[in-house]
């Protein structure tokens, strides 16, 4: 594939990626991918991976599901032993290929999506509840709350 500079593109259902599905709130949607094999100027075999997928995650702020559009654009250097990793250019991530030279492209796509997921998914449109952040500026605080719990200490300090 590297010598022939092969390219692949297509769609893959999110539900077909079992490991990724375990981390998601839902497996709806389709992964769009483009894969290009080749060699760079130094003769290093590579695989360019471009993936776009709408992934359903659980917001850690509101604990509700939301769709996060994930985009991956990376170059993977194809190596057969870990020693070859040091010869890769700095912007190239290593991808260890089995001795038989076979590569499961769905696994590569799934790995790249797993690496692109945020550690703590938060819906950018979500807001913290008022109990956590308090009232908005200009609003009067709710009944039963004192103005400031340290007001008494401030009065004692003045004495």
pLDDT band at 135 (very low <50, low <70, confident <90, very high): low
Q: Long-range contacts made by residues 120-125, C-beta under 8 angstroms, separation at least 24? A: 120/60, 121/57, 121/58, 121/59, 121/60, 121/66, 121/68, 122/59, 122/60, 122/61, 123/59, 123/61, 123/62, 123/64, 123/66, 123/68, 125/66
Q: Which residue has the higher pLDDT, 124 or 52?
A: 52
Per-residue pLDDT averaged across 92-115, rounded?
A: 94
Residue 112 confidence (pLDDT) above 80: yes
pTM given for the model: 0.78
Are 107 and 59 a contacting pair, CB within 8 Å?
Answer: no
Per-residue pLDDT averaged across 76-98, rounded?
A: 93
Q: What percent of the chain has pLDDT over 70?
A: 87
Per-residue model confidence (pLDDT) at position 29: 94
Q: Which residue has the higher pLDDT, 124 or 14?
A: 14
Per-residue pLDDT averaged across 33-45, rounded?
A: 94
Per-residue model confidence (pLDDT) at position 7: 96
């Amino acid at each position: 594939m590297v010598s022939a500079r092969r390219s692949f593109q297509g769609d893959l259902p999110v539900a077909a990626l079992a490991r990724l599905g375990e981390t998601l709130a839902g497996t709806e949607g389709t992964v769009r991918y483009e894969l290009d094999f080749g060699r760079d100027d130094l003769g290093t075999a590579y695989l360019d991976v471009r993936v776009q997928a709408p992934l359903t995650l659980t917001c850690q702020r509101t604990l509700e599901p939301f769709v996060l559009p994930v985009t991956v654009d990376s170059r993977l250097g194809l190596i057969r032993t870990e020693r070859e990793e040091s010869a890769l250019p700095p912007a190239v991530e290593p991808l260890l290929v089995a001795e038989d030279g076979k590569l499961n492209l769905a696994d590569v796509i799934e790995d790249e999506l797993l690496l692109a997921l945020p550690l703590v998914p938060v819906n950018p449109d979500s807001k913290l509840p008022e109990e956590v952040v308090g009232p908005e500026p200009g609003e009067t605080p709710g009944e039963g709350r004192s103005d400031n719990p340290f007001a008494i200490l401030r009065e004692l300090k003045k004495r």
